[in-house]
Amino acid sequence: MKKQLLAAAMLLITSALCAQLPSTDIFLVNMNIANDGKIYFSEPKNITHRKGYDNQPSFSKDGSKVYFVAYHDTIQSDIYVYDSNDTSITQLTNTPESEFSPRITADELAFTIIRVDADKGQRYYKILMDGTNEEQLLGNEDSAAYYCRVNDSTVAIAELNNNQMDLNIYELPGEQFIPLAKNVGRCIAVIPDGDNEISYVEKADTNGYMMMSFSLNSGLIGGVCQLPKGVEDYAWTADGRILCGTDGKLLMYDKSKPETGWTEIADFSKSIGDFYRIAINNSNTQLALVAYTKDDSQKSDAKKDEPKEDKKQKRKKD
């Protein structure tokens, strides 16, 4: 009886956490970078268009598919795929655990993910596309929140540490790591025109978080730019420009012309509304934007980090 009561209590708690997630949709926007450097965009297309949490998009290598995470009347998240060839959505995983941040591997046979296990540990895995044959890639790490695969043997992981996330660089398959930065944001990315570099966000200044760079070759850390106030999500174009969103506007920063600062290049405030997470396909011809469902009453709080609790109790999901 005690086990039954405990299971029921856990179900209620997990269901309550799911109910707190914002209702979000994923939009695709065609992008064309002209010879003069100007960027042109198509009208956005809502590819999920359903109530619930659809988030964390990433593209297949050829750009024809978008992988994402969704909660839909369930107590855990699963991985789905949108196929632009026939506009279909297919559920790929159906597991007792929650999967987050799916990134397709080079051979396109598996994903790397963050998975929330039964003990509430948050670990870095590789799984087949149907969710089977899981392989834990870091045996002693149980606080992973977000990550970026730098190359085949290096991964940058933002790990929960009480009221913040700290960024560590791991060399696989070992467990050794370089502690890089404290109090970082959720967005970590490879700099496309960099010297084996990654970018990340330091959140010390609430007036505007600072984007930083780290070179794995030289070990040097440098400042890239200050982000607009309240923004921590961004994406790099292949030619080294940075895109981010605020108040439905798409902004661009050209690090080769820092004096111009952030400039507005598109206004999606009417067609999409407020969006935040951004992904770009490999050919730089399409964007995936995550926006709040327009009638979602939780919109105003969704960008904020969830309350910091014990590292194994609650994952950041916004």
pLDDT tens per residue, range 138-170: 988 899 999 999 988 999 999 999 999 999 999
Least confident residue range of 47-56, 276-285, 307-316: 307-316
Hey, where are the domains in the chain? 2-302
Higher pLDDT, 175 or 28: 28
Least confident of 33-37, 91-95, 301-305: 301-305
Region 70-74: mean pLDDT is 81
Confidence band (pLDDT; 50, 70, 90) for 318?
Answer: low
Q: Over the stretch 217-229, which tens digit does the pLDDT of each residue have?
A: 999 999 999 999 9
- Residue 284 to residue 146: CA distance in whole angstroms: 23
**205 band by pLDDT with thresholds 50, 70 and 90:** confident
DSSP β-bridge partners for residue 99 = 115
At residue 300, does pLDDT exceed 50? no
- The rounded mean pLDDT for the chain is 87
Residue 15 predicted with pLDDT over 70: no
* Residue spans of beta strands (DSSP E) within 77-196: 78-83, 88-91, 98-104, 110-116, 122-128, 135-136, 144-151, 154-161, 164-171, 177-181, 189-190
| pLDDT at 194 (0 to 100) | 80
- Could you count the other beta carbons within 10 Å of the beta carbon of residue 167? 27
* pLDDT at 305 exceeding the cut of 70: no
The mean pLDDT value for 210-235 works out to: 96
Lowest-confidence region among 88-92, 272-276, 293-297: 293-297
- Those residues with Cβ within 8 angstroms of residue 148's Cβ, 6 or more apart along the chain or in another chain: 155, 156, 188, 189, 190, 198
CATH number for the domain whose boundaries are 2-302: 2.120.10.30
pLDDT classification of 113: cutoffs 50, 70, 90: very high
User: To the nearest whole percent, how much of the chain has pLDDT over 70?
Assistant: 86
| Structure confidence at residue 316 (pLDDT) | 54
Q: What is the DSSP letter of 20?
A: T
| Res 157: pLDDT | 98
Report the predicted TM-score, pTM, of the whole model to 2 decimal places: 0.87
Residue 4 scores a pLDDT above 50: no
